[in-house]
Structures are given as structure tokens and as C-alpha cells.
């Protein structure tokens, strides 16, 4: 589980790296947590939960908060409490009965995670994190395209994610078990393949869950990442909402380049509330 030879006897704190104090603190005070194979799952699931809650509140308040509701992409389709509960219960069930057992099996098969003495530099976190996101985006684009083009694969594996034409935050993890296990495998093994620092991996996990939830919030808020990052490099909620309305479009989860290159990019068509 833990490669003791990699651990410092004393936290170094002297490498001049901005994240070194944080890393030293984690090594000194939270070693059982950060060396646990369950940490990535805990991070991913709690991020999904905490990022989804505020948008669920927005959905429930609806037109009572007009300053937010005016940004709703499909205002005539609002999720009910029952739809939200169904998605959350499915996500809980899948994690308890499939993801956690898979982690336990992986503990006996995969090598123990390495915890180096030095923290990553900020530059490493950004560049390696970007590499993880770009690789995942490419893998999911191909997987997603195939699962929409092959009718049986679509029905058996991906259709469940398209149960709702208007996505909402909890529907981010409305996934079949094979889809959840596939994205989980990539999320765990891509950073290993790219030889990323564990801290970079964890930060990228949280950030990628934020991006996934943002894809599904159903609001085109002006301060979301797709508006903050220039040149439309990120698809965000407008692109992914469109994918749920027109499933043969916008296959990429995060970036927009593959959809632009292969001609599958479709811009958002904002709907107005019918009165
Ligand atoms: Zn979706
Ligand atoms: Zn799809």
C-alpha cells in the first residue's frame, strides 16, 4: 500500500516549492488517509456530492431566483426531487457495490502507490493535470462516439445516461456500471501512465469532477469555465446540454477540439420558456 522507502524521516519543507508545506503536512499528519487506496473514490464521490448540491438547490428554487433562472438552458424542463433522488441513489449504489469492491480487488493486483518526498511544482500540477484531462477527453470522445453509433452498445451501456433530455447536476453520475467502471479505470490509470505526482492526480480528480458536474448543471452561467477559458476551448454546459438534446453531437466531455475536427460540434440553441 505504502512504499515506506519513499517517505521522508523529517518533512523537508525546504525545496522552495509552493505546495511543499501542504505536502509535508499531509505526509506528517494524514498518512493513513493519503496512502489509502480508497482516497481517489472518496475524493471523486464527495466532489460529485458537494458540487451538485448548490445546483440542485437552484433547480428546486427555479423561477423564485430569476437572476439565476434566466440562465437555464431548457427552462421548460425542470428536474423533480424524485429524479434527483433516483440519480443520487444510483450513484451511491454503483459506488458501494461495484466501485469499492473493484478498489479492494485492485489493492491485491496493482503495485502500491508511491508517495515521494517532494511536492510537485505548480507548473507540474498544471501541465500534468492538463495532460490527464486531454488524454481522458480523447479516450472518452472515442468511447462515446462508438457507443452512440453502435445501437446495441448504446442500449446496453450508454442509454441510461440519456434518460433525461435536460441534464441536472445529480445526473452527472447517472451512468451504467460498465460506463462508470470504464471512466473510473481511465481516471485511475491515466495519471499512472503519465507518471504524475499523487497530489497532481488528486487535484485533477477534483477538478475533473467539477468540469463533469458543470457539463450537467443545465445553466449557461456567465462565470463557468467555458466562458473563462478563451476561444471556446471548453464545451461546458452549453455543449453537453446540446448533446442530451441532440445525441449525435458534442461527444467530448471537456474540450471542444475533437468535436470541431470531426465535425460533431453543434452550438447551443437557447430555449425560452413557453408561457
Ligand atoms: Zn451527460
Ligand atoms: Zn451520450
Nearest ligand to the C-alpha atom of residue 248: 2
Q: What is the C-alpha R_g of the chain?
A: 20
Q: Is residue 275 part of a domain?
A: no
pLDDT value at 3 more than 60: no
25 located within any domain: no
Please determine, for residue 268, whether its predicted confidence score (pLDDT) is greater than 80.
Answer: no
Residue 216 inside a domain? The answer is: yes
The verdict on residue 126 lying in a domain is: yes
25-48 confidence digits (pLDDT tens) = 999 999 999 999 999 999 999 999
CB 83 within 8 A of CB 165: no
79 HSE (CA, 13 A, CB side): 29
Distance 41 CA to ligand 2 centre (A): 23
Asked if the structure places residue 2 within a domain, the reply is no
Does residue 97 form part of some domain?
yes
Ligand that comes closest to the CA of residue 215: 1
Domain total for the chain? 1
Q: Helices 39-61 and 198-216: crossing angle, nearest 10°?
A: 20
Q: Which domain holds residue 45?
A: 35-261
Q: Is residue 30 part of a domain?
A: no
Alpha carbon distance 163, 171 (integer Å): 9
pLDDT tens digits, residue range 195-252? 999 999 999 999 999 999 999 999 999 999 999 999 999 999 999 999 999 999 999 9
Q: How far apart are the CA of 70 and the centre of ligand 2, in A?
A: 26
Q: How far is the CA of 91 from the centre of ligand 2 (A)?
A: 17
Is 196 a member of any domain?
A: yes
Amino acid at each position: 500500500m505504502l512504499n515506506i522507502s519513499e517517505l521522508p524521516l523529517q518533512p523537508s519543507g525546504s525545496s522552495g516549492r509552493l505546495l511543499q508545506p501542504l505536502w509535508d503536512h499531509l505526509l506528517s499528519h494524514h498518512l493513513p488517509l493519503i496512502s489509502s487506496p480508497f482516497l481517489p473514490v472518496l475524493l471523486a464521490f464527495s466532489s460529485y456530492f458537494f458540487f451538485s448540491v448548490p445546483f440542485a438547490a437552484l433547480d428546486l428554487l427555479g423561477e423564485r431566483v430569476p437572476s439565476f433562472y434566466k440562465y437555464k438552458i431548457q427552462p421548460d424542463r425542470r428536474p423533480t426531487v424524485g429524479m434527483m433522488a433516483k440519480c443520487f441513489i444510483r450513484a451511491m449504489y454503483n459506488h458501494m457495490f461495484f466501485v469499492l469492491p473493484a478498489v479492494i480487488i485492485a489493492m491485491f493486483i496493482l503495485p502500491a502507490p508511491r508517495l515521494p518526498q517532494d511536492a510537485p511544482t505548480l507548473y507540474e500540477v498544471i501541465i500534468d493535470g492538463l495532460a490527464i484531462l486531454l488524454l481522458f477527453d480523447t479516450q472518452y470522445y472515442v468511447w462515446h462516439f462508438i457507443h452512440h453509433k453502435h445501437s446495441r452498445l448504446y442500449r446496453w451501456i450508454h442509454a441510461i445516461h440519456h434518460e433525461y433530455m435536460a441534464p441536472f447536476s445529480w445526473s452527472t453520475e447517472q451512468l451504467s456500471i460498465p460506463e462508470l467502471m470504464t471512466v473510473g479505470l481511465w481516471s485511475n490509470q491515466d495519471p499512472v501512465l503519465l507518471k504524475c505526482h499523487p497530489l497532481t492526480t488528486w487535484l485533477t480528480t477534483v477538478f475533473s469532477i467539477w468540469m463533469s458536474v458543470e457539463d450537467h448543471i443545465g445553466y449557461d452561467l456567465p462565470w463557468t469555465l467555458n466562458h473563462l477559458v478563451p476561444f471556446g476551448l471548453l464545451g461546458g454546459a452549453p455543449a453537453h446540454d446540446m448533446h442530451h438534446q441532440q445525441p449525435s453531437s458534442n461527444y467530448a466531455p471537456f474540450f471542444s477540439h475533437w468535436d470541431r475536427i470531426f465535425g460533431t460540434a453543434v452550438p447551443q440553441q437557447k430555449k425560452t420558456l413557453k408561457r
